Structure 1
Amino acid sequence: MTLDDLAVAVERDDRAMVLFMSDTGYLICEVIRPGGGEPGGALSHERWSRPDWLPGPVQRLLLTSSESEGGDVTVGGRVSARVHRLVLDHGDGRTTTTARISRGAFGLVTHAAPVTWRAELVSYDAAGGELDRRRLFRPSDWFDHCYATPSGEVVYGPAGADCRPAERWAR
């Protein structure tokens, strides 16, 4: 990976995340330095299993949280061209955090506004219409529906009668 592969970077207070994407896969790095102390963080990388397709408008690639299913979170992933705005609904009915979207990728970091286990990623189109709403604290490969290409090939989730359209992804 090189700086040309940098898709999105976000920072808030003592936490930062960078997401690199290439034709073959991705690398996400999160760094946390609480109170200026010893740094910690997370690193995730993987080859694309389906580089051209997303399970709907959003695909989460990284999620870290300061508590089990709650607290401060760092989230990164991919979005389709239809997504013009992506927010994290913290699950408390009042608080949201807007993701940074760049080059088909997104990243967000919360701080001092903890999320609950009910948190959801909510995507919107250019007109402000809601495209999709997904629970945050759910395994990234667990889908309520299957997702299929226009030709009918199931690319995410188990094949079934309730398939939704997979969305094309491009940087």
Structure 2
Amino acid sequence: MRRAFGLLSIIIFFIFTSVSIFINKNWWNILSYTFSKLGKPALALSSWIFSVGVIIGGIFMSIHGFLVISHSENKLKIVGGSYVIISGIFMILSGVFSDGTKSHDFIALSTFLFFYTGNLLYGLGSYDKKIRNCFITIFIAAIVGLLLPIWPSLGILEVYGLSLVVIECILIIYEKD
């Protein structure tokens, strides 16, 4: 169960986001907006739903990072878990500082960057060569994906980024001790 907190964080995010999308289905679509627009009080109906989901998801992501640290057998995994905790904190902050505030974009981007960096370090510390190679590949895919001008919208780029997060969370669940 301890390994599932990262995935649980994303599931919570998706549940609250899905409710927000349903409530705001008259205007919100992935090709025009980022998920954060669902938490913008001046734009979204019941924007608090999205923000609460991001905050709770961030709490679970931080717990995931603490659990990674508490069960890590080397320094790289401990540092990786620390970055995941920071990612969770930034996730919480992106729920507190909703879209439209000065710091939101920086906070939202930092959430992803800290998560990917943390998982790269975690993967580099893994004794399981397959896990290590997967985490390195995902980190490269995240950076390349961020730099490629192929995305029809930032919302689609977010889906891509979240998909990589889900894959990493699943890999941690199935990593051999």
Q: TM-score, normalised by structure 2?
A: 0.26
Name which structure has the greater RCO, CA cutoff 8 Å, separation 6+: 2
Query: Larger % of strand: which?
Result: 1
Going by fraction, where is helix more abundant, 1 or 2? 2
Q: So what's the TM-score if we normalise by structure 1?
A: 0.26
